[in-house]
Amino acid sequence: MDDDASPTLEEFRARAALSGLPLTPEDIEELHKGYVGLVRLMVRIPKKWDWAAEPPQVFRADE
C-alpha cells in the first residue's frame, strides 16, 4: 500500500492486522478516520529533502 494514499476501510483493516495491536472493530473504524485525516493534512509535508535539512532536536542559546 502507498503510505501517502488514503486507504479504504478494507485496506486499513488489512494493515491493522499487521500492526501488532489488539484492536476491536470499533477501534479500527476510528483509527481509519484518524489516519485518513492525518494523511490528507500530510500533503503539506515535503518528501524530498537535502541531507542538510536534518533537524536538530534541541535549541542552543547561541544558535
Binding footprint of other proteins on the chain (CB under 8 A): 3, 12, 15-16, 19-23, 27, 30-31, 33-35, 37-38, 41-42, 44-47, 49, 53-61, 63
Residue number with CB closer to other proteins (25 or 49)? 49
Residue 3: Cβ within 10 Å count = 8
d(CA 25, CA 44): 30
d(CA 24, CA 36): 18
Residue number with CB closer to other proteins (10 or 49)? 49
Give me the least distance between CB of 11 and other proteins, in Å please. Answer: 11
